[in-house]
Amino acid sequence: MTHGKSGRGDAHGKAILMGEHAVVYGFPAVAVPLPEIKVSAEATSREGDDWLDCTYYRGPLQHAPSELAGLRLLIVEGLERIKWRRPIGITIRSDIPAGYGLGSSAAVAAAVAGALYHLAGAPLPRETWLELVAVSETMCHGAPSGVDAQATTGLDPLWFVRGRSPEIVAIPTPMYLVVAASSQPGNTRHTVKQVRALQERLGSGTGPIDRIGALTAASRPAIEHGDYPYLGALMIEVHRELAALNAATSEVEQLVAAALRHEALGAKLTGGGGGDSMVVLAKDIQQQRQLADVLMSAGATRVWTPIVRGTGLSAIN
Ligand code: MEV
């Protein structure tokens, strides 16, 4: 039974344009927020047990399935920090498909943390917000770089290097993207582990991770000068390296091939892989729409058509 008092938190999806996996090893990544794919959470004071209501589970928080262990830990930690001693109900509504590399787990954690602090009427400094998301992400993914937490809680395209304050990437010319989900969810924990085993065998200095790092470094001036044909070429190269890491499924390969057959500037897997989604760079808004149709015909289950705009170059925190 609810008790009247409630708090709300919001976050959104993200797409990694360049640098996934390599970002775990200290290389940069470029991530764009997807504010049109939203998550909201409501925290309500109630009587009885602590309660969770989301797409995957509805029931007492303590009996939530193991896939939600990160979220459960975050709620416990959040309640401790806001010194909340009464039973609580958490309701989550999300448009981000879970397991598709679009930041679902980080965004859900961010929305829930926001809702808890709003309920308590406590200020939520950005640093605390990110720490709480990391509690859940570490449980879900093992060793998250933090890029998802940053991109799902802000509205700027980001240049992210692990352990540093992200920078806003200046985008002089609108970027027309198509993000398409395959039919198969991936498992970031699994692919990050698989990549780590390969990386330990190869050692640093050679191999796909280092090449993704170099390609991503080259992408920043391309973005900031609006040289999208070059950016597209770099995306295609990163996709090859991600495929060499066994992160691309045949379904994602088919979607990438379909986009390139229709003359997209670039196309690649986005996120951890092993299923997931892909991101396409289109020449203009007409081609963006056309490629969205092409990808649906090629087997995508959902497509989004974000237009990324951005200014400034200041560091954010
Ligand atoms: C997941 O969205 C991106 C990865 O690079 C993992 C991470 O950065 O924590 C695969």
How far away, in angstroms, is 100 Cα from ligand 1 center? Answer: 12
Q: How far apart are the first and last CA of the chain?
A: 38
Q: Is residue 244 within 8 Å of 209, Cβ to Cβ? A: no
Strand bridging mode 158-160 / 307-310: unpaired
Q: Whose CA is nearest to atom 9 of ligand 1?
A: 144
Report the distance separating Cα 115 and Cα 41, nearest Å. Answer: 6
Per-residue pLDDT in tens (0 to 9) along the chain, 317 residues: 445 689 999 999 999 999 999 999 999 999 999 999 999 999 999 999 999 999 989 999 999 999 999 999 999 999 999 999 999 999 999 999 999 999 999 999 999 999 999 999 999 999 999 999 999 999 988 889 999 999 999 999 999 999 999 999 999 999 999 999 999 999 888 999 999 999 988 887 889 999 999 999 999 999 999 999 999 999 999 999 999 999 999 999 999 999 999 999 999 999 998 878 999 999 999 999 999 999 999 999 999 999 998 754 433 43
pTM of the model: 0.94
How far away, in angstroms, is 302 Cα from ligand 1 center? Answer: 21
pLDDT at 275: 79
- Regarding the beta carbon of 145 and ligand 1, being less than 6 Å apart is answered yes
Q: Is residue 298 within 8 Å of 178, Cβ to Cβ? A: no
How far away, in angstroms, is 122 Cα from ligand 1 center? Answer: 30
Q: Is 273 helix (H, G, I), strand (E, B) or coil?
A: coil
pLDDT at 274: 82
Q: Which atom of ligand 1 is nearest to the CA of 146?
A: 9
pLDDT at 306: 96
Q: Which residues of 195-204 are buried (b: 16+ CB within 10 A; e: fewer)?
A: bbeebeeeee
Q: Is residue 124 within 8 Å of 153, Cβ to Cβ? A: no
Which is nearest to 43 in space by CA: 110, 1, 103, 88?
A: 88
Q: Which atom of ligand 1 is nearest to the CA of 137?
A: 9
pLDDT at 208: 96
How far away, in angstroms, is 123 Cα from ligand 1 center? Answer: 28
Written as one letter, the residue type at 176 is: Y
pLDDT at 316: 41
DSSP string, 17-60: EE-TTGGGGT--EEEEEEEEEEEEEEEEEESSS-EEEETTEEEE
- Regarding the beta carbon of 273 and ligand 1, being less than 6 Å apart is answered no
